[in-house]
Structure 1
Amino acid sequence: MEKLISVKNLKKYFKVSAGTLKAVDDVSFDIYDGETFGLVGESGCGKSTCGRTLLRLYEPTGGEVFFNGENICGLSRDKMTVIRKSMQMIFQDPYASLDPRMPVEDIVAEPLDVHGICKNATERHEKVVELLKLVGLGEEHASRFPHEFSGGQRQRVGIARALALNPKFIVCDEPISALDVSIQAQVVNLLKELQNKLGLTYLFIAHDLSMVRYISDRVGVMYLGKMVEIAESNELYDNPIHPYTSALLSAIPIPDPDVQKSRKRIVLEGDVPSPINPKPCCRLKDRCAYAIDICSKEEPVMQEIKEKHFVACHRAKEFIK
């Protein structure tokens, strides 16, 4: 497969009163055409900031993002507007991402209006209806307002809006976390259907580790602004190497009381360090049971420990199963 997205040493820092908050710090990964790349990690690790910076909704502090071989970080606003047609986003909260004063037809048609896609009102309406039907809604929904929909339906409207410009790449920023559990599977299955039908490529950001395994081809794990492990989905879940990944995956409940009771839960001791002015060392060192002297002195570098399995840990080779 060809690389559609290539992120190299991406950084996004925020100036705060206490210093510099390094939300995304020197992160690199690739996303191949037609695949779903899952991005996981605990709250505050920088997942959503990474996705927004990748699309230049936040301007990067440093690094490069290549889309179809072109570095979009150096593009002017006008050129970025053209690229924006191919790169869209599905936001986390369907209650906050839709304007409550606009009918669904205007919400979905907004990207069409901005880019001047439709020639007249009839073509605009037909395109909106086509998009609504694509996500499982009907023409009768076009005249309604967001408050008249359930959470799952609102997220479908958000997906329809993201599809309006026929994008190649979509950042799904925790698109199911605000939905009822019964609705989450429906939305994820819809995303998979649309991917197969339209040839889409996803960056899927989520907390639900089981759902990430279900939808993703490859998975990246972030901790405190850093990427610590990248591997194919089944390989990562079956053979985690980084101590943080192992701890994260051990938190996934197993729907079998006997197995759940007998399994060993890995608990990281201590508090998550502050991402403000971090020291140049392993950021997990104070919570890791395997930390040694070098962990306090040097930042681990991402290395290919096994085929297509990358880990940033000084002792990674010792943890290979």
Structure 2
Amino acid sequence: MTVERIPLVEIKNLKKYFNVGRGAVLKAVDNVNLQIIEGETLGLVGESGCGKTTLGRTIVRLYEPTAGQVLFEGKNVHKLTGQQLKEFNRKVQMIFQDPYASLNPRMTVGDIIGEGIDIHGLYKNKERTDRIYELLSLVGLNKEHANRFPHEFSGGQRQRIGIARALAVEPKFIVADEPISALDVSIQAQVINLLMELQQKLKLTYIFIAHDLSMVKYVSDRIAVMYLGHVVELTTSEDLHNRPLHPYTQALLSAIPVPDPETERKKERILLEGDVPSPINPPKGCRFAKRCRYAKPICTEQQPELKEVEKNHFVACHLY
């Protein structure tokens, strides 16, 4: 008998629009539906400006949605108040893209990590100090680092401090918003391996937002591909790389460099022509149609729905 895995997070018809003046509205996230199963990593990929970060920030309540719902453990997170809201803020944390901007330069590392512990009243006095040292050790830093300030650390070390801060309140779910894009290539693998080790050790669930598809494949169980506010493809990491169905996903995967020069020469590169349409005035129908080599008349008239075209493989495209 198979046990149905219950989603930890459900995103239902989520929209997030921004007023940008003169009556114009920027549609950053437009009708997104996703489920995140407890214990998994859902990768979220797409070009800059496709709405990945906005989606992540709306999930953790940094933004209020224009429409739709985010459910965490079955509760609508944007309706929570009082003790329920405080509990949600403890269980759901975010690791930010820029470790330089996301740490308060006037606070010591110990106070940065200890702030969440104090707000939620988790540990006091010596226990608090010991917990901060434990967290520093967990992310590969020393307890001596607790009395230093953020400017005394490298980018990779600062991101480790950001991870320790997120873990301080013992969360269940973490939104990692491009946590390695601001780091040197040599440090990126270390931070990725650290996140994966912590997931196993602490039973965490992740949304991992990134540009780098090869890195997302390495860390993710499933991958959602976003284009201009929409999810256009969703499937397992393996299926997405072996059998991408959406023309946009095919183009993204064709751009990944291959280590073997001979294979690289034979590989077909799909070059996308034209610019990404404006999210302020998105085209009618499929938003990818003007850049798609398979576009048909229906593509410019009717917006495709995200449908399951193969087992656990969802795609929003009129080709299927």
**TM-score, normalization: structure 1?**
0.96
Alignment of 1:286-305 (within 5 A): 286-305=290-309
- Specify whether residues 195 and 108 from structure 1 end up closer, same or farther in structure 2 by C-alpha distance, changes over 3 A only: same
In 1, Cα distance between the equivalents of 2:295 and 2:254?
A: 19
- Report the counterpart of residue 42 of structure 1 in structure 2: 47
Q: Secondary structure at the match of 1:73?
A: helix
Identical positions, percent = 62
In 1, Cα distance between the equivalents of 2:146 and 2:89?
A: 25
Match of 2:89 among 77, 84, 93: 84
Deviations 1:190-229 (A, max 9, x none): 0000000000000000111111000000000000011000
Deviations 1:37-89 (A, max 9, x none): 00000100000000000111101111111111112122236532221110000
- Report the counterpart of residue 95 of structure 1 in structure 2: 100
**Residue 147 (structure 1) shift:** 1.1
- Report the counterpart of residue 131 of structure 1 in structure 2: 135
Deviations 1:137-191 (A, max 9, x none): 1111101111111111110000000001110000000000000000000000000
Alignment of 1:297-316 (within 5 A): 297-316=301-320
Q: Does 1:22 align with 2:30?
A: no
Deviations 1:254-283 (A, max 9, x none): 001111111110011111100003244100
In 1, Cα distance between the equivalents of 2:29 and 2:81?
A: 23
- What amino acid is the match of 2:37? Y
Q: Does 1:122 align with 2:126?
A: yes
In 2, Cα distance between the equivalents of 1:99 and 1:73?
A: 27
**TM-score, normalization: structure 2?**
0.96
In 2, Cα distance between the equivalents of 1:144 and 1:184?
A: 23
Q: CA RMSD in A?
A: 1.0
Alignment of 1:145-294 (within 5 A): 145-294=149-298
**Corresponding pairs, count:** 315
Q: List structure 1 runs of 4+ shifted beyond 6 angstroms.
A: none
In 1, Cα distance between the equivalents of 2:248 and 2:85?
A: 36
Match of 1:2 among 2, 6, 12: 6
Q: Secondary structure at the match of 1:88?
A: strand
- What amino acid is the match of 2:312? K
Q: Secondary structure at the match of 1:81?
A: helix
Q: Secondary structure at the match of 2:264?
A: helix
Deviations 1:8-37 (A, max 9, x none): 111100001251100000001111010000
- What amino acid is the match of 2:130? E
